[in-house]
């Protein structure tokens, strides 16, 4: 993703996947993100995978 373009189809798909993994909550995404010195928010893959597993494990 580092070499990708902002608002490319791939970056939009990635954002949608992250949003979905956190139950459709931008607040949850913001809480888990770490802010780098340059202001870029970073979410570790392990955090995304953990959120996905929790979504699957929750009863509907």
Provide the residue-wise pLDDT of the chain in tens; the chain has 60 residues: 456 567 889 889 989 999 999 999 999 999 999 999 999 999 999 999 999 998 877 765
How far apart CA 60 and CA 48 sit, in angstroms, is: 20
Quick one: angle between helices 45-57 and 9-21, nearest 10?
50
Q: What are the distances in angstroms from CA 5 to CA 8, 10, 24?
A: 5, 8, 23
Query: In terms of Cα–Cα distance, which of 12, 16, 25, 13 is closest to 54?
Result: 25
How far apart CA 36 and CA 51 sit, in angstroms, is: 21
Residue that the structure tokens 């956190």 belong to: 22
């Amino acid at each position: 993703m580092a070499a990708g373009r902002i608002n490319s189809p791939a970056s939009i798909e990635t954002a949608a996947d992250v949003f979905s993994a956190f139950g459709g909550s931008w607040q949850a995404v913001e809480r888990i993100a770490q802010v780098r010195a340059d202001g870029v928010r970073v979410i570790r893959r392990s955090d995304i995978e953990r959120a996905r597993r929790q979504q699957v494990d929750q009863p509907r």
